Amino acid sequence: MDSDKRARHESIRVIVSEFFMVLAVVITVIILAFVVSGYWLNSDFEVERQGLLQISSFPTGADVEIDGNSSWMQRTNTNKVLSSGEHTVSLSKEGYDSWSRIVKISEGLLYKVDYPRLFLKERKKESIYDASGTTFATVSPDRNSLLLINKTTDWELLNLNNDNPEVKTIDVSAVFSSVSKAAGARTGLFSGNIIRAEWDANNEHVLFDVEENGRHEWVILNVKNPENSVNLSKLFDFNFSEIRIFDNSANTLLALLDGNLRKIDVGSQQLSAIIAKDVVSYDFLNSDIAFSAKNVNEDEPKYYVGITNINGGDVDTVYNSDNLPKVLYSQFYDNKYVTILEDATIAVYKKDDFSEFFSGEISFTPNKYKVGRFGEFVIMSSGERLATLDMEALAITEWQTSSNHYGWLDSSMLYAVSTGELSVYDFDGQNHRKLSSNVSERLPVTITNNKWLYYFSDDKLTREVIAN
């Protein structure tokens, strides 16, 4: 074969080789695009669109069983491609109790389950601090600090994030009006009735609503530097009906005064002009405020829902009703939502265009509400009755605790204490487990460092190790 023929043959081979290489790349990209979009071959070699389950646990490394099947590769924390529809997911770990629930996987979507908690079956119990005389206690958002309040002016702040909790005494005699101190006495008496205590996100300040003789006193207690605490009622000499912390450091607050919503700048000690009038309820997210208020125009419905900014300005009216609406403002993934509750009716709207995202009804009228830390659920309650709107599953679950003495164990799990018995629940009532006995009903229960369970028992702060 002459050189020209060899050159032509070589050129043809190169062209054919490059063609198949390009074809292989294109096919690979197409396959990957389909896989990323959730398409997969099932056991019958049929193409179907699947979803992705992302599951985590405390502690990590639990065995994962899906629809009764498990393998050595299935552990938390992990991802798993599943066909659309319902699947039973169960977690287990040697030495721990188990956890299980039914999840609904949607085509091409991610379903996150990042809250399961397993507890050691055999737990060591120890009393670590004498809390006798404690009348009220509150836990910081990071669950590392516990503030113990008694009827004296010496309160105690415990750092729980150590093997041996550190104790700091906080003198509140100069902070509250509802105190008395005899001349020369080391401590005074605290006579106020604490209605509510709210921590800031930085775990440094606690906003107190204290009632005495029918009047409310609002105080920001600086637990790190008590001398920098602020008595808001003394500072402004107003009878605020509600105050909430707006920012992470308790420097900006939202307050209701005579039904009017205002901003408090603690640093400059200034009260803003009216942001909204005749406000019934409000909630906020970043710099936005969603609120419900009375309509002054008799030709319009009795109430409206508006959205405005912390700095005032225009109000966008997004909803009108003759029923009294309560509002919640939240973010789930990248979308912002306004939830409106009218008696037992729940409606969730997208904030951007106020299109309805979800609606449903429950069998009771709630008086307390809570949104999950990441907007993943909304809990409505009245006494022992609760209803949970799961934003991931878009479903409402009604359930009931064992007692109305309940609170939050962590960001996704509730606890309840009934006749001294401590029970825990997922945010929607599932995975009910009984943990401990002889637990105080009036003081909080918490988990710190994903290792210790703290509660009060026989006037002692008690601790159990719940994970190795």
Average pLDDT value for residue range 182-211: 92
Per-residue pLDDT, 451: 95
7 pLDDT above the threshold of 90 = no
pLDDT of 38 above 90 = no
User: In sequence order, which residues have a C-beta less than 8 Å from that of residue 77 and are 6 or more positions away?
Assistant: 55, 56, 57, 60
Q: Write down which residue in 334, 365, 397 finishes a domain.
A: 397
Tens digits of residue pLDDT in 253-282: 999 999 999 999 999 999 999 999 999 999
Beta-bridged to residue 170, according to DSSP, are 155
DSSP 317-362: EEEEESS--EEEEEEETTEEEEEEEETTEEEEEETTT--EEEEEE-
Reported confidence tier of residue 40, pLDDT bands at 50, 70, 90:
low
pLDDT digits (tens, 9 = 90+) for 132-154: 999 999 999 999 999 999 999 99
Structural domain contains residue 389: yes
The tens digit of pLDDT for each residue in 414-446 reads 999 999 999 999 999 999 999 999 999 999 999
Asked if the peptide bond before residue 77 counts as cis, ω within 30 degrees of 0, the response is yes
Lowest mean pLDDT among 68-82, 209-223, 334-348, 445-459: 68-82
**What is the CB neighbour count within 10 angstroms for residue 432?**
14
**What is the pLDDT at residue 43?**
52
Residue 450 is assigned to a structural domain of this protein: no
pLDDT tens readout for residues 317-327 = 999 999 999 99
Among candidate residues 342, 374, 397, the one where a domain is terminated: 397
Q: Say if 60 falls within a structural domain.
A: yes
As a whole number, mean pLDDT of residues 29-51 equals 56
Domain boundary among 80, 113, 146: 113
For the cut 90, the answer to whether the pLDDT of residue 450 exceeds it is: yes
Report yes or no on 64 lying in a domain: yes
Is 432 a domain residue?
no
Higher pLDDT, 37 or 338: 338
CATH code of the domain covering residue 386: 2.130.10.10
Q: Is residue 175 part of a domain?
A: no
pLDDT surpasses 70 at 41: no
Q: What is the pLDDT of residues 296-319, one digit of tens each?
A: 888 899 999 999 999 878 999 999
Whether residue 285 contacts residue 329, with contact meaning beta carbons closer than 8 Å, is answered with yes
Query: 259 burial class (0-12, 13-18, 19+ CB within 10 angstroms)?
Result: middle
> What pLDDT shows up at residue 3?
63
Q: Name the pLDDT band for 79 (thresholds 50, 70, 90).
A: confident
In a domain, 252, yes or no: no
Percent share of the chain, pLDDT over 90: 80
Percent of the chain with pLDDT over 70: 89
Polymer length of the chain? 468
pLDDT score, position 70: 80
pLDDT computed for residue 122 by the predictor: 96
Report pLDDT for 313. 80
pLDDT at position 44, please? Answer: 54
| pLDDT (average), residues 388-413 | 94
C-alpha span between 224 and 170 (Å, rounded): 9
249 inside domain: no
Each residue's pLDDT tens digit, 92-114:
999 999 999 999 999 988 999 99
Domain of residue 98, residue span: 39-113
Q: What pLDDT is stored for residue 72 in this prediction?
A: 59
Domain count, the chain: 2
The CATH number covering residue 83 comes to 2.60.40.10
